[in-house]
A and B are shown apart, each in its own frame.
Chain A
């Protein structure tokens, strides 16, 4: 019997401990440099990069961007053209960013640049996998676009129950589609009572300045 018992080894370790430790390093580094950071999560095509292009126009060199994609530098190029420095992470298949990938990307950004206030991290387009990985950001933002349907909030609770900010993008399409904005907001607040919500359209600019001003209010 004693031998049986000895064959069991207790571990009791969080599998994402290593990631969380690295995230804490990132958070401390950014905080020491006076940089506020956001982690933008949505499904592919919800408009993350278009939102960042608008923000690049608003913030200019006050913002730097880390772009996470499975492949191509296209998003980083779009954001650079829109007016702010960007680093591309090509995950080569991985469906999410982790804190180590962000730490490496931070080495390519001039964190001492004058006026740099905001680091925006665009996660890989995916509503599930990125939700478990702390990157060291100050604010986690979940983005849903009107064509995806208002039911996605309750379908992806591991994301929408944890986000600090809930963005509903492509609001200019609301008159043509069945997306119930009130229902989406209510369902998000039902499980995440402190969430801040913005409805906006990165394409027309509707609501975008309000969102940018809100971000600014969090800068040091």
Chain B
């Protein structure tokens, strides 16, 4: 639901980094499973905003990461995109979340012939 706001934040970050409006071919982002963000919804919102704000028609490539979890029973560290999953070593469901809330703009790829203003 808040993906439109996030897409606008992304555009502002990209604009600031590039020093102005530049036509983009691709935008690479990373989303963690606990970020509370729908990738498909973000893709829809971002594509629309990019087009309306003269950033071309970039494709949004999403790198979905897994959460890092610490088993509270056997102390095994493991990765999963689902907190329902149990520890692969001892089967316990009890865990501490070490990471998984990432949401970053990693990089952008410019359309041919475009250059950053900054």
Interface residues of A, Cβ cutoff 8 Å to B: 7-18, 94-96, 126, 128-129, 131-132, 154, 157-159, 161-162, 189-193
Contact = CB atoms under 8 A, between A and B. Distances in A.
B76 interface: no
B116 A14 contact: no
A10 B97 CA distance: 28
B1 A11 contact: no
Interface of B: 1-2, 5-6, 9-10, 13-14, 17-18, 25, 29, 34-37, 72, 83-84, 93-97, 101-112, 114, 116
A96 B44 CA distance: 20
A161 B34 contact: yes
Given A131-B36, A161-B34, A192-B97, A16 B1 contact: no
Contacts of B94: 189-190, 193
B83 A161 contact: yes
B104 A158 contact: no
Given A9-B107, A12-B104, A129 B116 contact: no
Contacts of B84: 154
A8 B109 contact: yes
B43 to A, nearest CB: 14
Nearest to B27: A11
Given A8-B110, A193-B96, 7 more contacts: A8-B108, A9-B17, A12-B107, A15-B10, A129-B36, A132-B2, A162-B97
Contacts of A190: 93-95
A7 B13 contact: no
B106 to A, nearest CB: 6
Contact of B34 (A8, A157, A193): A157
A13 B106 CA distance: 7
Nearest to B106: A12
Given A9-B108, A129-B36, A191 B9 contact: no
B101 A132 contact: yes
B107 A7 contact: no
Contacts of A11: 13-14, 17, 104-108
Interchain residue pairs A-B with the least CB separation, the first 4:
A158-B36, A129-B2, A95-B1, A7-B110
Nearest to A187: B93
B34 A9 contact: no
Contacts of A191: 83, 95-97
A10 B106 contact: yes
A131 B102 CA distance: 13
